[in-house]
Each structure stands twice: as structure tokens, then as C-alpha cells.
Amino acid sequence: MKLSVGIFLAFFVTSLVIGKMGGKPPAKKKAEPIPKAWYDPAPVRPIRKALQFDDMACGECHSEPLEGNPKDKGEFHDGIELNHAAERRNNLCFNCHNRKNFDAFAGPSGEVIPYKEVAEMCSKCHGPIYRDWKSGAHGRRSGYWDKSQGPQESLQCIACHDPHSPVFKSMKPAGAPPNPYTERGRNGH
């Protein structure tokens, strides 16, 4: 009987001590906000409203149709490097720009294609991609998938591709997920 009393006493005291030790809940952690660049939905290239060079509308300088060597960029546009298509084959300014209307693009026979309909111009060469873009397999759509509830926007080709160098540019990736076996959280705590 005395032994059982002793065991119970020991258990009682130990339990009280343990109860006290684990009594306080851990302090609340403060989570870090996600860097804005990691979820910014802005397209990779700025969307402009009109054809521009150095923030000036092309038509401000080029009011007259341009003749001459179609490979000649002229001193003013020397900084533009053309790297379009394999072996830089698309190397003539007026393959895309309209030599008679500098605020627009050139159609297959020099027709005027307004700036906003740039995809029509790109489709001169990129037929299958244009078809995919039209049907929704290529390029980004945003807004509403259900057009009856709100507007749907399709990004134009040049919101992602630089027409002078159209290969999609590499970018810095957002942070890697933490390894749950070695660290907790992004900062290792």
C-alpha cells in the first residue's frame, strides 16, 4: 500500500512540473510578405498606345514616305539591333514598318495595319502561331474566361516579344520553396 502511495505521489509531482514547463504557447511568428515582383501580373514588355521611338511618335519625324536602301537604319536608329528569325533573315525595316505611314505597320503588299492590330502583321510570317493565338492556345488572356460576365483581354504579340529580337527573354525566377527537411520557411526559421 505504501508503495502505491509513493508512486502516486511521484506521478502527481512530476505531472505538475511537466504541466508548468509546457505551459506557455510559443510566441507568434511574423511571416514575411511576398516580394511584389514575384506575383506582379504586368506583361514582360510595357504596353504602349502607339508606335514610338524614344517616347516620340514615329510620325512626328517621318511625315513623308521614305525611299532608299531598306537596310539602312540611319544614324538616328543605329541603336536598334535586328535579331529576327534564324540567321537574322528578317533584316529589312519595311518588312514590318509601313514606309508610307510610320504610325502603322505594313501588310503583305504595303497595306496599312494599325498599331493595335500588330498580330495581323506578324501573321504574314507566323501563320500557325497566329492561328493558335486566335484560338487561345498561344499567348496570354486575362480578365474573364466567361465573356458574358466581363471583358476578356488578349495580350498582343509585342507585349511579350520584342519585335526587333523576338525570342522570349530569360528572367529571374521567384524564390525556391523551402526544403521541409532542412529548414522551415524562407528565412530558415
Partner 1 sequence: MGIDDKPRKPADTKTVSRSDFLSAGFAALGAVGATAAALSPLAEIEEGPSFDKFFQKHYKELSKEDMAGILERTRKEVKEKYGVDAKVSDPQPMEGVEFAYALNIGRCVGCRKCVYACMKENNQSRDPQAAYIRVMKMEKGSIDVESSDLRYEDETVPSKDHYYMPVQCHQCKNAPCVKACPVGATWQEKDGIVAIDYDWCIGCRYCMAACPYGARVFNFSEPTLPSEEVNPDMSYLGNRPRPKGVVEKCHFCMQRTRKGKYPACVEVCPTGSRKFGNILDPESDVSQILKNKRVYIFKEEVGTLPRFYYYFDV
Provide the minimum distance between the beta carbon of 120 and partner 1 in the complex, in angstroms, as a whole number: 19
For residue 110 the three cell numbers come to 504595303
The answer to the question of residue 76 lying near partner 1 (CB under 8 A) is no
Dist CA 77 CA 75 (whole Å): 6
159 Rama class: left (phi>0) / alpha (psi -120 to 50) / beta = alpha
Closest CA to 118 of 162, 152, 71, 70: 162
Provide the minimum distance between the beta carbon of 17 and partner 1 in the complex, in angstroms, as a whole number: 9
Provide the minimum distance between the beta carbon of 154 and partner 1 in the complex, in angstroms, as a whole number: 9
What Rg value do the Cα atoms of the chain yield, rounded?
A: 32
The only residue of 12, 47, 112, 116 in contact with partner 1, by rule CB under 8 A: 12
Q: How many CA atoms lie within 13 A of 117 on its CB side?
A: 11
Point out which residues pair with 152 in neighbouring strands: 143
The answer to the question of residue 43 lying near partner 1 (CB under 8 A) is yes
Other beta carbons within 10 angstroms of residue 83's beta carbon come to: 12
Provide the minimum distance between the beta carbon of 180 and partner 1 in the complex, in angstroms, as a whole number: 7
The only residue of 63, 69, 109, 179 in contact with partner 1, by rule CB under 8 A: 179
155 Rama class: left (phi>0) / alpha (psi -120 to 50) / beta = beta
Instruction: Give the x-and-dash track for 123-152 against partner 1 (CB under 8 A).
Output: -----xx--x--xxxxxxxxxxxx-xxx--
Give 82: exposed, middle or buried? Use CB within 10 Å, 0-12, 13-18, 19+: middle
The only residue of 33, 46, 68, 79 in contact with partner 1, by rule CB under 8 A: 33
Contact region with partner 1 (CB under 8 A), list: 64-72, 90-98, 118-126, 179-187: 179-187
Q: Please report, as ranges, the residues that interact with partner 1 according to CB under 8 A.
A: 1-2, 4-5, 7-9, 11-12, 15-16, 18-19, 22-23, 25, 28-34, 38-41, 43-44, 128-129, 132, 135-146, 148-150, 155, 160, 168, 170-180, 184-187, 189
